[in-house]
Chains A and B, each alone.
Chain A
Amino acid sequence: MSFLSIKGAVKQFGGLRAVDGVSFTLKKGEIVGLLGPNGSGKTTLINLVSGALPATAGEIRLNGQRLTGLRRDRIARAGVARTFQLVRILPSLSLIENVKITAVFGHNAHWGRAAERVAREALEMVGLSDRAEAQAGDLTYIDQKRLELARALAAEPEILLLDEWLAGLNPTELSEGIDLIRKLHQGGLTILMVEHIIDAVRALCPRVVVMNSGQLIADEATDAALSDPSVITAYLGGEVDA
């Protein structure tokens, strides 16, 4: 049974179809990579699922509930959590407060001790619990990324959307990051991740969906997709360009 289903999703910006009739589904507990060259519409698709942009056409459902047409906060409460391509933290709040907000306003709407506990667990998960009271604005880039992930986790989401969460990390941080995502997946979380780092995709995702110019060009096992001629052409350009 499909858990997240995207049916004929379209996003039109003026004359440009950034997402052009994309359909695929995710099963509960599955981790899927969303690949494609720059400008192929991956982030736009993430924005359609999370409600950052209204879809021009198509339907997106999570666990049977229709998400298309809902406001961003309603979609968040329905169980969709996301990180941002350009990391977004709340600089004037402490780490624990940054994380607590999704526990308070998100999927399960905790308050008081329960919210505190969920937030602490999320910080613990990403390895920031020893600095819970520090100001978020003082963090390094990798720690900001960790914090953003912790915020998404504290929502206790049904599905986690990662938009190039591994980008910009050094090799050590990258392997830590991969381990962290694997741990989340093993904990039963459904994950859809936009990612350019192929090694990470191979390590984490048994299945990928590939986009090019707004359209879905592959939805198959990762090894098969990465040797698929149409995928290689999309990434490296066709014969005319080469």
Chain B
Amino acid sequence: MIRILLPLIGLALLTVLPNYISDYGLGLLIGAATYVTLASAWALFSGQTHYISLATVAFYGTGAYTVAVLNEALPYPAVLACAALIGGAMALVVGLSTLRLQGVYFVIFSFGLAELTRQLITWYEVNVTGTLGRYIFLDITTRQIYWQMLALGAATLALTAWINRSRLGLALRVIGDDETVAAHSGINLARTKLIAFVLSAMILTLAGAITSPRYVYVEPAIVFNPTVSFLTVIMALLGGANRLWGPALGAVPLFLAFEYLSSNFPDTYPIFLGLLFIGVVFLVPNGLLAKLETLTARKAPQTKEART
């Protein structure tokens, strides 16, 4: 009961929070909500299966571009629906052809996918439409963007919680441990991975679509910035990618830290990014939540039994 009640109270508080903070604070809040959503959606697929995807920005950027292209042609809800469908279709095609790649090959492929998408859109804009940049003028307030992102983040967490209890979640965890055992136990590998990959991609694309009005001016180099993919991975890993709340826990402090660093040390901040990446991998390879559990278990050995 408390596990449902507490998040709901938190969500209610976050919903009314814009009434009490400055515009700058609201901007930070949107950024944090965006990264909580991105990291949680990323972990929905990559956290359980251990397929580390660097394609986050391929979907995020596609979402932003969908809004840039369609915002004058269609009503806003229809634009969002289109973005989700395009992201899902893209993931379906990509997933069908590549989810048999394992380990480092998948990582490299997913990184390549983001670059490919960026180059394709650039080529299309230059050669077909003749303009590289696009403007997004939508009648949406900053608060509305925040509420939309908050809703998407909450929906992502709810979806993850539901999947974790379902057959799909169990199948994903088995795949993460050993695909051979998974297949010989009767799990349809391709379908299981594809469902999770497509769901994750649809959320990532929607997140890009929802934040896009904040950019006002959109071009491929801006919305397909690979740093978004890297940040998402570090955030999810820091908190614990295979836990429900892990990615959110990692996303909030890291987003704030990067905001601070990038505004105060604009030239040197990638160095901190690199250091942090190394630090996370060495110090908390399983995430903060798992670390916390082992620490408390060591202090009081009986808690582990109590938990199980």
Residues of A within 8 A of B (CB): 50-52, 71-73, 76-77, 81-82, 84, 88-94, 97, 100-102, 104-107, 109, 111, 133-134, 151, 155
Contact = CB atoms under 8 A, between A and B. Distances in A.
B49 to A, nearest CB: 12
Given A52-B180, A90-B178, A97 B170 contact: yes
A155 B174 contact: no
Contact of B181 (A51, A88, A94): A88
Q: Which of B185, B187, B188 lies at the interface centre, i.e. has the most chain A CB atoms within 10 A of its CB?
A: B185
A72 B184 contact: yes
18 contacts: A51-B184, A71-B188, A72-B184, A73-B184, A73-B185, A73-B187, A73-B188, A73-B189, A76-B185, A81-B184, A84-B180, A88-B178, A101-B174, A101-B181, A104-B167, A105-B185, A105-B187, A106-B185
What does DSSP make chain B's interface, helix, strand, loop or mixed?
helix
A79 to B, nearest CB: 10
A133 B177 CA distance: 17
B183 A73 contact: yes
Interface of B: 167, 170-171, 173-174, 176-178, 180-189, 308
B186 A105 contact: yes
Contacts of B184: 50-52, 72-73, 76, 81-82
A84 B178 CA distance: 13
B306 to A, nearest CB: 11
Contact of A107 (B173, B176, B186): B186
B185 A151 contact: yes
Given A90-B178, A151-B185, 8 more contacts: A76-B184, A76-B185, A76-B186, A90-B177, A90-B181, A92-B176, A97-B170, A101-B170
A76 B181 CA distance: 11
